Amino acid sequence: MAAHSIAEGHGHAEHGHEEHHEQGFFSKYIFSLDHKTIAKQYLISGILWAVLGGLMSVIFRLQLAFPDMDMSFLKPVLGHWINESGKLDNNFYLALVTMHGTIMVFFVLTAGLSGTFSNLLIPLQVGARDMASGFMNMISYWLFFLAGVIMFTSLFLPHGPAGGGWVIYPPLSALEEANPGSGAGMTLWLVSMAIFIASSLLGSINYVTTILNLRTRGMSMDKLPLTIWSFLFTAILGILSFPVLFSAALLLIFDRSFGTSFYLSDIYIQGQALPNQGGSPILFQHLFWFLGHPEVYIVILPAFGISSEVISTNSRKPIFGYKAMILSMLGIMFLAFIVWAHHMFVTGMNPFLGSIFMLLTLIIAVPSAVKGFNYITTLWRGNLIFTPAMLFAIGMVSFFVSGGLTGIILGNAALDIQLHDTYFVVAHFHLVMGSAAFFAMIAGVYHWFPKMYGRMMNSTLGYIHFWISFIGVYMVFIPMHYVGIAGFPRRYYQWSGFKVFDTFADLNIVITVAAVITVFAQFIFIYNFFYSMFKGKKASANPWKSNTLEWTTPVDLGHGNWPGEIPTVYRWPYDYSKPGAPDDFIPQNVPFSATPESNTPEENDLIAKEKEIENIKFDYSIPD
Amino acid sequence: MIYIIAILAILFVVLTFKVISQTRKIINKNKAGGGELPYQGAADSANNINAAGLLVFWILAVVGTTWSYLHYSQYFLPEASSVHGRETDFWFWFSMAIITIAFFLVNTFLFLFSYIYRHSNKRRSAFYTHNNTLEIIWTTVPAVVMTGLVLSGLIVWSDITGDAPEDAEVIEITGRQFAWMVRYSGEDGKFGDANYKLMDDGSGNPLGLDFADPNSFDDFSNSTELHIPKGKPVLLRIKARDVLHSVFIPHMRVKMDAVPGMPTKFWFVADKSTDEMKAALNDTEFDYEIACTEVCGKSHFGMRMVLKVDEPEEYEKWKRAQKPVLTLNPDLLVKVPEKLKARALKYIEVEAPAAAAPKDSTATAVAAAVETK
């Protein structure tokens, strides 16, 4: 068990890190190596991106509900994308849905969620002074920032940003003549994603290393909070799958710029037959979804971790089936790699392959169901405190269940024929991964805000935010299933050209109104977030009476996290409402020898081992 | 509509500010009260309201989903007009029934427990860490249900994607930005070769028919309507010219991507003719439609083609009335190799040269072309 803490590694005194030398503004807030600052940087970037992504959805939802609407009032913002008659340009419509998807999936729910909470919680919950490599961590954030700047720049290109859907299937994304967004917009998209992938890898490697190597005394793997388990699995998924997206993007760059034919074959466009032959657009789809599917679990696994922690703490009850939760996350992680082609049932892929992927896909429903049941059993006979975080976590479970169930239908190749690329799919994944992960992220912010800023967020605003968002999300996505069952295809600028899709105008208005309200309700949260940062009520060290290690740190925690020695861990993180104990929680750093009244016989046996754990000496020297 | 949105938006903003200012008052009041609560996380006065809210939400949600489902189901697609479609519909609704039960059951437990076990100072949570029997049960039950669904799905899927019957009517459909084109093999029942390098919109050969292959002489195409016979297997050979497209026939429950460089296929049996549907739906305007479901560019939403399901006799009659590509574009004769010219000329209509002067000029052009080659 070798542990290297950065601080120690750099030859500082072993304890007493709160007495820090004054850091300059840049090294403290901008190019910070401190995991907590980096987490905040990720969070605030994520929030800004979420605002942009959300507002984009408002624009295209308005277009879908009111195809005849005069959008001239948006002209000051969108400029030439609103034409003379006040209509949204249909190329720009596609660019909007593409950017909405890209931003939400990668910048908000990957960087904003994993980046924020892995960075914040891993060192604090495993008992480390910082990440394994603070420098890599900083680089990871700034690469993400750079990726964001490039993607943002692409919004202002004269021909618009990438517009072939967030999945950027070639040939559409490869040929500028096929779509104006496939010119410079696509180039910037690819460059941005390549940098984003580098950022994600640097982050993930750091997460895995820190979890495996920097745990404090006594923090064996079976005492890790579920958050840490989820971040570990997420990071592994990212490390193994993001490089595949990188290769897909690289080959696409070659096809676009250097005349290769990896994805292109037999194309006649704008009166010209292209010379490319022998490539396969299906190859791209395999490579893309080899990341793309694990990506949805990269998004949802941290959400599981956060909800587990929040639900257990606020139920004042151990998470039900701790081991089953870990095993099901492990199962989901493993299966996540081998189900990618269920996105491709009707692409012309060999139907036999479709059968295999259908089988594997439906297996993934089992561990997912186990998770849902375990959350509910955690609530059962609990003593529930509905903090805003708890409400959002319960909302997350509800969305995950409701949205996940339709996955059983979509994972069935025969049924997917009709539903593929319809609004049924859109409704499904927005509930199960979009809204669920988003809710967990919000829950995490409410829950760990005191640890980030030493202040509390306003809970009344939190309740209002929850109720509008929760009802709003269901009002958007339940009706959207109906639209999907009626066969409405996605990425349509309008449906009125088809008689078969000329129904449901009223339902689309309901969806849009609900979506607009939900998006704007998020400004309550943003107000609350920034207001509380400066003016919120001062937090106590452990405001939720939680067991995990981060709550043993002082309120104003500096670089190094614990002023003295890092606490030693003796027990699992879920000793809530233990029979016999005076309080309804026993933090992880309380030894069994201090709690004779609540110990089980097996735990009494562990008292003998406590000395052993306390005497562990870490070797802080970095081996050559 | 825009006014409704505007009013709602304004109302919303006003309410938000109202709420924010109200809350700030409360915050300030708390500040005035002074002193930190010992447990900030302890249940506050809103705890019961939130707990009840979750339950009330769920009751309203059950009523709302049930009502909205019953109300909107009339706008779902009518019963499938194809044989396999009715089977997938059956399994769709079968699976929907299962997941709807699970949806109501699981959410009911979630919200009911939230309400029942809301915080009370008189009670303590149960220290209930795991129960292997329970875990095994709720791993097994979904596993068994899934196995059932997978098996049914596998059987249906392999039936649908299996090889088309020998006697299937083969029709080629090609996607392009932003329209569909169909091609029939003509009276010989054989498709001529086609090559994307021969595609030429200007000379009337958008499908790239290779006139070195005599089978292509009688091939005819259509870019507004796809006609298929009722009750007979139809095999669509699906191609794309530029980018990905996807053939979607909602009423037939047919969908398959069109991929440049890789022809795909989908076969089905339509067993309700367009006329029968018109009568059944009591809608004389009704037509089957083909849409594109793979994003293909700015007019993706406009790739509409009409599908006509004819009675077999009518279908044969319609086919006989169609003119081959070569007939409609006699200029293409120049693409026919010398030794096949004679066979190709049969498809060139040289109707009464004296009768119509413009036709005449075409005919002379053709004759000239023949001579020079």
- What pLDDT was estimated at residue A21? 58
Tell me the shortest Cα–Cα distance from A384 to chain B, in angstroms.
5
Cβ of A383 and B296 within 8 Å?
no
Q: Cβ separation of B304 and A498 shorter than 8 Å?
A: yes
Strongest mean pLDDT among A82-91, B246-255, B351-360: B246-255
Model pLDDT, residue B372: 45
| Nearest CB to B289 within list A408, A500, A513 | A500
Q: What is the mean pLDDT of residues B4-8?
A: 60
Tell me which chain A residues have a C-beta less than 8 angstroms from the C-beta of B54: 386, 391, 394
Length of chain A: 624
B300 with A509: Cβ contact below 8 A: no
d(CA B88, CA B91): 5
Write out pLDDT tens, residues A523-556. 999 999 999 999 999 999 999 999 999 999 999 8
Query: Does ipTM come in above 0.90?
Result: yes
pLDDT, tens digit, 9 for 90 and up, residues B191-207 = 999 999 999 998 889 99
CB of B271 less than 8 A from some CB of A: no
Selecting from B40, B289, B295 the residue whose C-beta is nearest the C-beta of A543 gives B40
Chain A contact for B224, CB < 8 A?
no
pLDDT tens track for A386-423: 999 999 999 999 999 999 999 999 999 999 999 999 99
Question: 10 Å Cβ neighbour count for B253?
Answer: 27
Q: Is A517 on the interface with B (CB under 8 A)?
A: yes
- Above 80 in pLDDT, residue B109? yes
B-contacting residues in A 232-261 (Cβ below 8 Å): none
Residue A564: the pLDDT is 86
- Inter-axis angle of helices A436-453 and A35-65, to 10 degrees? 140
pLDDT at A543: 93
Any B CB within 8 A of A491 CB = yes
pLDDT tens column, A253-286: 999 999 999 999 999 999 999 999 999 999 999 9
Classify A510 as helix, strand or coil: helix
With an 8 Å Cβ cutoff, is A544 touching chain B? yes
State the Cα–Cα distance between residues A10 and A70, nearest whole angstrom. 62
Q: How confident is the model at residue B373 (pLDDT cuts 50, 70, 90)?
A: very low
Q: What is the pLDDT of residues A120-169, one digit of tens each?
A: 999 999 999 999 999 999 999 999 999 999 999 999 999 999 999 999 99
Cβ of residue A493 closer than 8 Å to a chain B Cβ? yes
> What structural domains and CATH numbers belong to chain A?
6-15+33-535 (1.20.210.10)
For A555, list phi and psi in degrees, rounded to 5.
-60, -50
Picking from A98, A264, A376 by the largest number of B CB atoms within 10 A of its own CB, the best residue to mutate is A376
B284 touches chain A (CB under 8 A): no
Closest chain A residue to B9 measured between Cα atoms?
A517
Residue B306 distance to chain A (closest CA, Å): 10
**Long-range CB pairs of A349-352, under 8 A, 24+ apart, other chains included:** A349/A282, A351/A413, A351/B157, A351/B158, A351/B161, A351/B162
CA distance B187 to chain A (A): 28
Instruction: State whether residue B20 is helix, strand or coil.
Output: helix
H or E element, residue B46? none
CB B117 within 8 A of CB B126: no
Between A623 and A565, whose confidence is greater?
A565
- Chain B residues lying within 8 Å of A486, measured CB to CB: 75-77
A508 contacts in B (CB within 8 Å)? none
Looking at beta carbons, which residues of chain A come within 8 Å of B237?
Answer: none
Q: What is the pLDDT of residue A28?
A: 79
**What is the rounded distance in angstroms from the CA atom of residue B152 to the CA atom of residue B87?**
11
Judged by a CB distance cut-off of 8 A, whether residue B118 touches chain A is: yes
The owner of tokens 């427990």 is B113
Question: Is the Cβ pair B255, A282 closer than 8 Å?
Answer: no
CB contact under 8 A, B41 and A320: no
Mean pLDDT (chain B) is 86
Interface test with A, best of B13, B26, B40, B100 (most A CBs within 10 A): B40
Q: List the single residue in A with minimal CA-CA distance to B304.
A: A498
> For residue A318, which phi and psi values (nearest 5 degrees)?
-60, 150
Residue A3 pLDDT > 70, yes or no? no
State the pLDDT at residue B11. 67
- Kindly tell me if the per-residue pLDDT of B367 is higher than 80: no
In whole angstroms, what is the distance from residue A15 CA to residue A36 CA? 19
Which residues between 550 and 569 in chain A have a beta carbon less than 8 angstroms from any beta carbon of chain B?
none
Q: Most A CBs within 10 Å: which of B259, B305, B307, as the mutation test of the A interface?
A: B259
Whole-number Cα distances in Å, B346 to B26, B212, B324, B333, B343: 92, 15, 11, 11, 6
| pLDDT reported for residue B351 | 56
Scanning every residue of chain B, which has its alpha carbon at the shortest distance from the alpha carbon of A510?
Answer: B5
> Which residue in B has a C-alpha nearest to residue A417's C-alpha?
B255
Q: Which of B5, B41, B260 sits opposite A266 (nearest CB)?
A: B260
Residue A584, min C-alpha distance to chain B (Å): 8
Each residue's pLDDT tens digit, A342-390: 999 999 999 999 999 999 998 999 999 999 999 999 999 999 999 999 9
3 state SS of A506: helix
Task: Check if B291 contacts A (Cβ < 8 Å).
Answer: yes
Per-residue pLDDT tens digits for A314-345? 999 999 999 999 999 999 999 999 999 999 99
Tell me the shortest Cα–Cα distance from A32 to chain B, in angstroms.
Answer: 31
Q: Which residue of A has its CA nearest to B72?
A: A482
Across the interface, of A365, A487, A527, the residue whose CB is closest to B20 is A527
Say if A530 is an interface residue toward chain B (CB within 8 Å).
Answer: no
Tell which residue, A140, A161, A152, has the closest CA to residue A95: A161
**pLDDT at B12 exceeding the cut of 70:** no
